[in-house]
Amino acid sequence: MPSPIPRPDDPATVGPHPQAGAPTVLKIVIAGGFGAGKTTAVGAVSEITPLSTEEYLTEASAGVDNLAGIEAKQTTTVAFDFGRLSLPDALTPLELFLFGTPGQDRFVDLWYDISRGAVGAVVLVDTRRLESSFTPVSFFEDIGLPFVVAVNQFDGAHRYHPEQVRTALGLPAAVPVVTCDARDPNHVAGVLLTLVHHADAVTSRVGHTPSTTLQDA
Ligand X SMILES: Nc1nc2c(ncn2[C@@H]2O[C@H](COP(=O)(O)OP(=O)(O)OP(=O)(O)O)[C@@H](O)[C@H]2O)c(=O)[nH]1
Total chain residues near ligand X (CB under 6 A): 21
Q: Which of 13, 77, 135, 213 binds Mg ion (CB under 5 A)?
A: 77
The DSSP element (H or E) to which 124 belongs, if any, is strand 120-125
- In the region spanning residues 129 to 188, those forming contacts with ligand X, defined by CB under 6 A, are 152, 154-155, 181-183
Give the CB-nearest residue to ligand X. 103
Q: What does the per-residue mask of binding to ligand X show for 87-116, with x meaning CB under 6 A?
A: ---------------xx-------------
Q: What does the per-residue mask of binding to ligand X show for 29-68, with x meaning CB under 6 A?
A: ---x-xxxxxxx----------------------------
Euclidean distance between CA atoms 6 and 188, whole angstroms: 19
Number of other residues whose CB lies within 10 A of the CB of residue 51:
15
Angle at 65 between CA 60 and CA 66, to 5 degrees: 135
Q: 212 with 143: CB under 8 angstroms? A: yes
Whether residue 6 has a cis bond before it, omega within 30° of 0: yes
In the complex, least distance from residue 188 CB atom to ligand X, rounded to whole angstroms: 10
DSSP code per residue over 25-92: EEEEEEEESTTSSHHHHHHHH-SSPPB--EEE--GGGTTTS--TT-TT--EEESS-EEEEEEETTSSS
Q: Which of 15, 73, 138, 206 binds ligand X (CB under 6 A)?
A: 73
Q: Which of 13, 24, 46, 77 binds ligand X (CB under 6 A)?
A: 77
For ligand X, which is the closer residue by CB, 186 or 215?
A: 186
In the complex, least distance from residue 173 CB atom to ligand X, rounded to whole angstroms: 26
- 34 contacts which partner out of ligand X, Mg ion, none, CB within 5 to 8 A by kind? ligand X
For Mg ion, which is the closer residue by CB, 73 or 208?
A: 73
Establish if 39 lies at the interface with Mg ion (CB under 5 A).
yes
Closest CA to 172 of 208, 196, 147: 147
Euclidean distance between CA atoms 25 and 95, whole angstroms: 5
In the complex, the residues that contact Mg ion under the rule CB under 5 A are 38-39, 77
In the complex, the residues that contact ligand X under the rule CB under 6 A are 32, 34-40, 70, 72-73, 76-77, 102-103, 152, 154-155, 181-183
